[in-house]
Amino acid sequence: MPITFEVDSARKTVFAQATGVLTKEDIFAYQNALQTSTELMYFNECVDLSAAADVTDATDENMMELAGLAVQLDDPAQPTRLAIVVNSDLHYGLARMYEAYRSMQPKSVRQVSVFRSREEALRWLEAEGPVC
């Protein structure tokens, strides 16, 4: 699977790593895997796309659909953070598009931010203070 993930219960964070060429099916399969565990809806998430060679089917419609699916995990009583790590301009643009579509969802309470380094993303995820 091009997206693998580990759950760090102590840090209440899901760490995902993407490799190779990602398809719409890969991305949606990852999102659906997260939704099988109600515990994970209360965890922050770090998705690292820096080892992904390409993302196929990255259309506006697919980004909107993914944002709509992902927001189903949001709990207004427990806002969380999602850090997306990228190293290419294309992936940066796609991640920002997802961030925008997700923020437009009426039930969205997860704060999303895009980073160029994993270290920067982890600092943001572990920062103290209100999420939203």
What is the tens place of the pLDDT at every residue in 87-120? 999 999 999 999 999 999 999 999 999 999 999 9
pLDDT of residue 132: 45
Q: Which pTM value belongs to this model?
A: 0.92
- Residue 100 three-state SS: helix
φ/ψ (deg, to 5) at 77: -80, -15
Residue 1 has what pLDDT? 58
pLDDT in tens, 35-80: 888 888 899 999 999 999 988 988 889 999 999 999 988 888 989 9
- The topology under which CATH files domain 3-126 is Transcription Regulator spoIIAA (3.30.750)
Q: Note the pLDDT of residue 67.
A: 94
3-state secondary structure of 108: coil
Angstrom distance (rounded) from CA 20 to CA 104: 30
The pLDDT assigned to 129 comes to 55
Residue 57 has a pLDDT of: 85
Give the per-residue pLDDT at 17.
97
pLDDT at residue number 13: 96
